[in-house]
Structure 1
Amino acid sequence: ADTITLPNGAKAQFHVRELPDAEFRRLWGEGDRAKLIAATICDEDGKPVMNVTQAAQLKPLVAAELQRVAMKHSGFGDDAAQAQADAGNG
């Protein structure tokens, strides 16, 4: 599970599905943040919690935080090494 802080100061906890490299590269190449969020943000059982249309309606700051977390769990960004270690992949 991971947590972000919403613009109103509340915390939101969710799970992140790690994508296979080919799927991640395809989504990243499309440049559509909503598709990446919809594919990675999930419930405890790994089921998506929103579709692309819903992800596209998120406030920009929330979408940016969810994208950061998705990237972290895909091995990119400053927190990626720790996320991989926490998942037993380090």
Structure 2
Amino acid sequence: MLDKSFFVSETIHEKEVVLGDGSKHILYFKELPAIEYSKFHIAQSSADEGVKAGSIAKLIASSLCDKDGKPAITYEQSIKLKPEPMNAIFVALMEVNKIAGKGQPETSGSGT
């Protein structure tokens, strides 16, 4: 059996997100299984502009939660985020999930 460190934890991670205006916000994130990041990477490589543009919003909707782990935002809400908060949330999500290149998708053109 693999060590439990190989698997997604049930721990909810608290992160402070600071926006350009200096405002600080405490947000909560679930760890994502590798399959969710794989879906994100595939979407980032899509020729379909809508799929590619929505990939960060899907990842945010999958990870952002309340203190109890319940979803904090839907995909439909996530696609309406302003660019700066979306990027700040995305950076925090990548840090929580310890993904290389924190905060930046591997392919360009995401617009965030």
Shorter-chain TM range is 0.7 to 0.9
In structure 2, C-alpha distance between the alignment counterparts of 1:16 and 1:33, rounded to whole Å = 14
- Structure 1 unaligned blocks of 5 or more: 80-90
Structure with the greater alpha carbon radius of gyration: 2
Count how many residue pairs are aligned between Structure 1 and Structure 2: 79
Runs of 4+ in 1 over 3 A off after TM superposition: none
**2:99: which partner in 1?**
76
**1:50: which partner in 2?**
73
8 Å CA contact retained: 1:72, 1:78? no
Return the letter of the residue paired with 2:95: K
**1:33: which partner in 2?**
56
**2:90: which partner in 1?**
67
**2:37: which partner in 1?**
24
TM-score by length of 1: 0.77
TM-score by length of 2: 0.63
- Structure 2 unaligned blocks of 5 or more: 1-13, 45-54, 103-112
Q: Let me know the Cα RMSD of the aligned residues.
A: 1.7
How far is the alpha carbon of 1:37 from its aligned partner?
0.7
1:13 to 26, 35, 38: 26
